Amino acid sequence: MKRLTGLDTGFLWMETPTSAMHVSGLAIYDPSDLVADGGTFGIDNVREMVRGRLHLAPPFRQRLVDVPLQLHFPLWIEDPDFDLDRHIRRVGVPAPGGPRELAELAAQLNAVQLDRSRPLWEMWYIEGLEGGRVATLTKVHHAAMDGASGSEITVALFDLSPEVVQHPEPDEPWQPDKVPSEVEMLGYAMSSLARQPLRVLKALRRTGQAALDVRNLTRQPGHELAPLPFTAPATSINGAITPRRSIATTSVSLSDVKRVKNAFGTTVNDVVLALCAGTLRQYFDRRGEEVDGPLLAMVPVSVRPEEARADMGNQVSSMFTSLATDVHDPVARLAAIHEGMIGAKEQHRAIGAETLTDWAEFAAPAVFGRAMRLYARMGLADRHRPIFNVTISNVPGPPFALYSAGAKLEANFPLGPIFDGAALNITVMSLEDSLDFGILTCPDVVDDVWSLADGLQAALDDLLAAADAKPPAKRPARSTAKAKPKAAAKPRARKSA
């Protein structure tokens, strides 16, 4: 039995009838080599592979238990009624089974919220793709994991070769928990709440120090504050959403992104943000929509220390950065994004990783949950300036091939949640030499999600053309002075074998 943190619980509270707060991964496999060698790749193979690795993915067997009257945060317990067959299901994609048919099916499946009476995940095995390919859509609630812990689970469910590795069971076999009584949960809640005054004092001290650090940072010459929430321009993509979802996917060359990064002295993440900025700028231009100022992106940031990589749950913060969509030239836009990210990172370090998680521990579960449902029901997102315009998340993936149940993973498109006022989520994950973009939105707010996917490659082409046209850096002139002769190297004694 383990209590959820305030941040984990926050993702439960944010869930409303129109906002499903799970993260998803749409993976595409090519089993042709496996089949040619006499093997099979079906739902039974996938189910048995997952069954043999459940001990490597703790959230897969844990379910929620609510504290009576929502006096405190819920608990995770090892589900005494766990049944793997309830979580892995099969479905077929309509003909001809291309990317758009797959994305439409994935959007329908992604719109359905997870059942809170069971462990908060499910996997859909999807047949009928063109070329004999197969896909899986895996959904896990954000309360159970963030991007970093999700990557750890991804590693656990994949192999580095077509050979399926058998993972040994832990020394202590898995044991289900007894569902705690209401009296036990109330006692647990009271014990935890009794320690809150000390936590409040620590949070106040850290927040005060963070305020001083930010003030000192802004006084440094040439430093400007990163954009603040609620300074984003009002746009058509920032209204109240409905339960419907639409998805688009695309991949670009990681080598090409690195060529741009190297040519202009930025980072891969800066280029990713610039690609998103380019396609969003084109989206609004096609619609003839005037945007009053540069778009503001919320960029999730992992604050998970190295020693806690295997821990589940959320250890994540966020930065706000301008996408410089008011800048016409793509190279100048990339440079502005790069400078903005430098300032955002400095400000984020000054604030500290614990500030958000500190104060999340003191929210009242019952009050916050009802407030979020009321906010959605009244459509209040249409009545105030957006907190930010778009969520853009870049999750590092492996630079090598992965296999699942013997089949090669061709692409892995991550899909993050959306909510009222933030109807567009663009998440990217690398795999070998590819950057796989998953774009999720509400079709009643963003009516042409595939134009955004198509615009990413066009934005990259613009930056590649500029990188290729950039004159090579001049090498420093060689000195005409005669170089002094080098001293002869002293012979080294050989070591005996």
Report the catalytic residues: 142
Residue 138 and residue 144: Cα distance in Å, rounded?
13
Tokens standing for residue 27: 């993976």
Widest pairwise Cα distance in the chain: 88
Report whether 105 contacts 129 (CB < 8 A): no
The 3 state secondary structure assigned to the chain is: CEECCHHHHHHHHCCECCECCEEEEEEEEECHHHHHCCCCCCHHHHHHHHHCCHHHCHHHHEEEECCHHHCCCCEEEECCCCCHHHCEEEEECCCCCCHHHHHHHHHHHHCCCCCCCCCCEEEEEEECCHHHCEEEEEEEECCCECHHHHHHHHHHCCECCCCCCCCCCCCCCCCCCCCCCHHHHHHHHHHHHHCHHHHHHHHHHHHHHHHHHHHHHHCCCCCCCCCCCCCCCCCCCCCCCCCCCEEEEEEEEHHHHHHHHHHHCCCHHHHHHHHHHHHHHHHHHHHCCCCCCCCEEEEEEECCCHHHCCCCECCEEEEEEECCCCCCCHHHHHHHHHHHHHHHHHHHHHHCCHHHHHHHCCCCHHHHHHHHHHHHHCCHHHHCCCCCCEEEEEECCCCCCCEECCEEEEEEEEECCCECCECEEEEEEEECCEEEEEEEECCCCCCCHHHHHHHHHHHHHHHHHHHHHCCCCCCCCCCCCCCCCCCCCCCCCCCCC
Cα dihedral across residues 86, 87, 88, 94: positive or negative? positive
As a whole number of Å, the end-to-end CA separation of the chain is: 58
Burial category of 476 from C-beta neighbours within 10 Å (exposed 0-12, middle 13-18, buried 19 and up):
exposed
C-alpha distances (whole Å) from 455 to each of 216, 237, 250, 279, 422 are 40, 17, 10, 5, 20
